[in-house]
Chains A and B, each alone.
Chain A
Amino acid sequence: QTVVTQEPSFSVSPGGTVTLTCDLSSGSISTGYYPSWYQQTPGQAPRTLIYSTSIRSSGVPDRFSGSILGNKAALTITGAQADDESDYYCMLYMGGGTYVFGTGTKVTVL
C-alpha cells in the first residue's frame, strides 16, 4: 500500500521560513507524480496552493513555493504570516486516474 508521509507539525516565527516535505514510501518523488499542495484551515474546504510541483494557483501569494528536494516534494513558506497557520496536504498523481494524499502537516506561526 502506498503511503505518503509528511511532518506532523512545524512551528515557524512570523517572517520566518519553513519547508514542508512529502515522502513516498515506495521511492523517490519526481515531477512525474505532479505533486500538488493544499492548505486547509479548521472547518474549511482545502484550497489549492501549488500544482505540478511548482506552479502557484491563481491568487496564491509568492511566499509559497513548491519544488523537488532530493527525493521528496517540498513546499516552502518564505516570510510566514499569521494567516498561514493551517494544515497543509500534499497529493501525488499515481497514474491510472488515481491519487494519494499525504498525512498532512500542521503549521503554527508564533
Chain B
Amino acid sequence: QVTLKESGPALVKPTQTLTVTCTFSGFSLSTSGVRVSWIRQPPGKALEWLARIDWDDDKFYSTSLKTRLTISKDTSKNQVVLTMTNMDPVDTATYYCARVSRDGYNFGYWGQGTLVTVSS
C-alpha cells in the first residue's frame, strides 16, 4: 500500500527558508523508475508543480522557482525533502508530495498536504 505524508512548519516568517518533508511507504526511491514530486496550492487557487526527484538522483525544477528550490532524498528514511528559500507571503500554500507514475507522466498517489503560512 502506497502512502505519502508531508510534514513541516505551519508558520514561516518572510525571508526564511522553508523545509518540508515527504515520508512515504509502500515503495522505495532506490528502485529503478521511482520518482517523487512536490506540488503546491495557495488557498483558493490552482495547483502548481514545483520539483521532481528520481531514483537515480536526477532532479527537475519549475522554471519560475528554480533558483529558490532544492529537492533531495534520504533513501534509508524513505523521505524526500524540499527546501524553498526567501519565503514570501505569496508562498502561503498547501504543499503536497506525490509519487510519479512509472512512465513519469502523471501523479498516481498523493499525500494529504501540509499548509504553510508565511507571515511575520
Contact = CB atoms under 8 A, between A and B. Distances in A.
B39 to A, nearest CB: 8
Given A101-B47, A101-B49, A102-B46, A52 B110 contact: no
B55 interface: no
A103 B112 CA distance: 21
Interface string A28-43: 0000001010101000
Contacts of B54: 97
Interface residues of A, number: 24
Interface stretch (B25-33, B80-88, B100-108): B100-108
Contacts of A57: 108
Nearest to A87: B46
B105 A52 contact: yes
Given A98-B63, A104-B46, A45 B104 contact: no
